Amino acid sequence: MMRVRHLATRLTMPFLAIALVGCVESQTTASSNDQPKPTKVKTLHISGHHELKNFFKENGYHWDTLDQGVPPFILKKLPEDFTHIEEVREKKRLFFLSLLPMILILNEEILQERESLLTIYQSLGKGNPISKKQKNFLQTLSQKYKVKGDLLTSDETRDSLLKRVDILPPSLVLAQAAIESGYGTSRFAQLGNNLFGEWTFTPGTGLVPQERPEGATYEVRRFDSVFDSLQSYMTNINTHWAYRKLREKRAQLRKGGISPQGIDLVPGLERYSERGEDYIEDVKTMIRLNRLSRLSTTSLRKS
């Protein structure tokens, strides 16, 4: 698979940890600033794809059981023997099912942030004072999502932040992850847990691309876990100027009472790759051929 240069990842914001990152026990609890949730999340250290398949089987997790909820777990890294799975259909199945829970975990946190934000906006809209805790929450959120301006007085700033604090459809994330990492088999995915080829300009902190142009200094970022890579990608899409059209389209759909689907947001990735329209068509094809849009109604199993 041809690797493409990511025009927008050059300015990717530093990784921001969320409540789930850094778990060292077998289970932890997902939480947000104002609305903690009792969803217990397992962190898996999987050595091979057969072990991963056994975990799915033991937990009744398959394409046919998604309506019963997705077991919440974080995968530390993809199995090294992913490259040895000869049956393409099986490789795809394991890859998509491995990433889906982590995408849902991240989306759940974003939804909690969004709900808290809307509650504060409602108070401000009525002219009611907000608490110091709520002001701190606004400040933290504006820093995380790179929004400048006075959220207490500016409607434009509030609207800008709300457009960024929103979920990404699993179908979109999975399609890009599959394309960029070769279903988890790429060198960057295997050695650096980097599913999307994000760059870093700090020498020695990443992996040097084998075909890097002479004189170039960028490296491909290393992540502590696959979960970290997904979180960084989603933050990048929700904050970088290059994906403003994607966020505008998502907000437009929401305003019309329509739940955003991955296939609807793909055109907003026009700056993601130098391949332009060809890349957009690849992502659309990935979503359609693998029927990833069916994942729009999936949710995590609750403890």
- Report the alpha-carbon distance of residue 8 to residue 111 in Å, rounded: 25
Which helix (H) or strand (E) element contains residue 65? none
> Does residue 254 form part of some domain?
no
The per-residue pLDDT string of the chain (303 residues; one tens digit each, 9 = 90 and over) reads: 333 334 444 333 333 333 333 332 333 334 344 444 456 899 999 889 999 999 999 999 999 999 999 999 999 999 999 989 989 999 999 999 999 999 999 999 999 999 999 999 999 999 999 999 999 999 999 999 999 999 999 999 999 999 999 999 999 999 999 999 999 999 899 988 999 988 777 777 766 766 777 767 677 788 999 999 999 999 999 999 999 999 999 999 999 999 999 999 999 999 999 899 999 999 999 999 999 999 999 999 986
Which stretches of the chain are assigned E, i.e. beta strand? 27-29, 40-44, 73-75, 199-200, 206-207, 219-221
Strand partners, 219: 200
Domain count, the chain: 1
**Of 168, 176, 262, 169, the residue nearest 1 (C-alpha):** 176
**Of 190, 195, 219, the residue nearest 207 (C-alpha):** 219
Distances, alpha carbon 240 to alpha carbons 11, 26, 42, 215, 229, in Å: 8, 34, 31, 26, 16
> Does residue 269 form part of some domain?
no
Full-model pTM: 0.86
> Does residue 170 form part of some domain?
yes
Task: Report yes or no: 198 and 9 within 8 Å, Cβ to Cβ.
Answer: yes
Other beta carbons within 10 Å of 261 = 17
> Does residue 69 form part of some domain?
yes
> Does residue 280 form part of some domain?
no
> What is the residue range of 225's domain?
9-242
